[in-house]
Chain A
């Protein structure tokens, strides 16, 4: 069994979670010494798009297929069901050589299919144990945390821009994750995005009770990549954001998640 490190991006919509996740995947894939699993937990499957992958099947499709079979009483015993899910989930996994991607699709749907969802979580957990690093691009807001989708996360990255709304969502996520113990994490911290300068970071951090993982300056190139829909796998390594992402990953993988001083 590998000692898998799980890193999850959370925060308000539009603050740069997907970009950060995509750049983490790119950085680790280029290093080439780790098995990487990218989990696109955003129903809009933005991470897949940012990595230049066309997704034709999601975990939600597998879930719906199973629910249909349950309704039609077309499934065998638990072992058969597990095998079937294992087969179908592996089919959903997109293997890109240097990394693999699992698109979750819509979150758990209507009706009570706790058993189905539990089986799926078990299998995703078992699949995940084959990887060294898992990068999760979370759904916007706190719903995913509330639903305990991300139960075991080593490093919870709270991505925010400088808006008070973004910072407030980050604060709420941290509070819910910590106070309600819905996520078992080793470290949690802010990744501030679209920052003017260090002074702005210092001003923001004075008002926060959260560690700082890093900050990303405003970057025209990101705007260009987002606008043109280019794959972040082609993003230049030398960009400032690339360096920030590398430092954060080193802090998680080598130092176990030591935050920068805020």
Chain B
């Protein structure tokens, strides 16, 4: 079973419009005077391994925290947008809207958006793609998340901030992880720390992705297809891929039962 363009079962275009909207959003923020940066430096590449693997405490306590991102009392979001249109994703790009870790301290609103492009993704992979971003093994970076709600909450330790930990390092680590785990050729990441208002402007995208993740999780977990009583009926109706996935799962189930 696959979301394959080579077989042309259907194209993976659920998020294509959202990716375009996101590009426009970034441009509008730049026009509004926000600090928008593409983070790519030799220093960042060199420092990548410095923070890998934590063999110490997994918790960064508040008194050891330099910067908190996405506290539960504030809105945060961490959507993963997948496409099979390789032109839509700028591989390796780490974009930051707002201050970097060394430039501020305290608590910031937070959005972490991952764009993934591949022409050979498995259907089942999507829910895993969504939660894999939290499987980080980084020293001095604590991450707590609710994958099904797309909520993210993290803390950067004082030591990390002193040692040059940055969104470039965080972003490149996540990109490398996706490439090695799922063999995804195009991976891009966008961080937003500029303001509560900027992060909250992503609420529509947040709820759309959340509904799709919910619908797909339910489909893959439950395997009973009483659509009339399903709370995700609206998204399945609207999103062609979900509808097709459902039909395929039904077919597979019937085949399995025969």
Contact = CB atoms under 8 A, between A and B. Distances in A.
A97 B57 CA distance: 16
A223 interface: no
Interface in B56-87: 57-59, 61-63, 72
A97 B62 CA distance: 7
A90 interface: yes
Contacts of B147: 76, 80, 83-84
A2 B57 contact: yes
Contacts of A80: 127, 131, 147-148, 217
B105 interface: no
B217 A76 contact: yes
Contacts of A100: 61
A75 interface: yes
B191 interface: no
A79 B148 CA distance: 11
A90 B148 contact: no
Interface residues of B, number: 23
Contacts of A76: 127, 131, 147-148, 217, 221
A73 B62 contact: no
Given A77-B221, A100-B61, A87 B148 contact: no
Interface string B197-239: 0000000000000000010011001100000000000000000
A250 to B, nearest CB: 25
Nearest to B142: A90
Contacts of B96: none
B63 A97 contact: yes
Contact of B148 (A2, A84, A86, A95): A84
A86 B144 contact: yes
Nearest to A87: B144
Interface in A56-95: 73-77, 79-80, 83-84, 86-88, 90-91, 95
Contacts of B218: 73
Nearest to B153: A87
A91 B72 contact: yes
Given A83-B145, A84-B147, A87-B146, A74 B214 contact: yes
Nearest to B58: A130
Contact of A83 (B63, B72, B146): B146
Residue in A73, A74, A80, A127 with the greatest tally of chain B CB atoms within 10 Å? A80
B134 interface: yes
A145 B2 CA distance: 52
Contacts of A77: 127, 217, 221
B226 to A, nearest CB: 12
B169 interface: no
Nearest to A126: B58
Nearest to B216: A76
Contacts of A75: 148
Contacts of B62: 95, 97
B187 interface: no
A83 B146 CA distance: 6
Given A76-B217, A83-B134, A130 B146 contact: no
B151 interface: yes
Given A76-B127, A130-B59, A90 B144 contact: yes
Contacts of A151: none
A26 B58 CA distance: 25
A121 to B, nearest CB: 18
Nearest to B61: A95
Contact of B131 (A2, A83, A97): A83
Given A73-B218, A76-B221, A87 B151 contact: yes
Contact of B222 (A35, A73, A91, A127): A73
B177 to A, nearest CB: 15
Nearest to B149: A84
B129 to A, nearest CB: 13
A86 B146 CA distance: 9
A83 B221 CA distance: 17
Residue with the highest number of chain B CB atoms closer than 10 Å, among A74, A76, A88, A90 = A76
Contact of B145 (A2, A35, A87, A127): A87
A84 B151 CA distance: 9
A97 B64 CA distance: 9
Interface string B150-168: 0101000000000000000
Given A35-B61, A83-B131, A86-B144, 14 more contacts: A2-B57, A73-B222, A75-B148, A76-B221, A80-B127, A80-B147, A83-B134, A83-B144, A83-B145, A83-B146, A83-B147, A84-B146, A87-B151, A130-B59
10 contacts: A74-B214, A76-B217, A77-B127, A77-B217, A84-B146, A84-B149, A87-B146, A90-B153, A95-B63, A130-B58
Question: What are the 6 closest A-B residue pairs judged by CB atoms, nearest first?
Answer: A130-B59, A87-B144, A95-B62, A76-B217, A84-B146, A91-B72
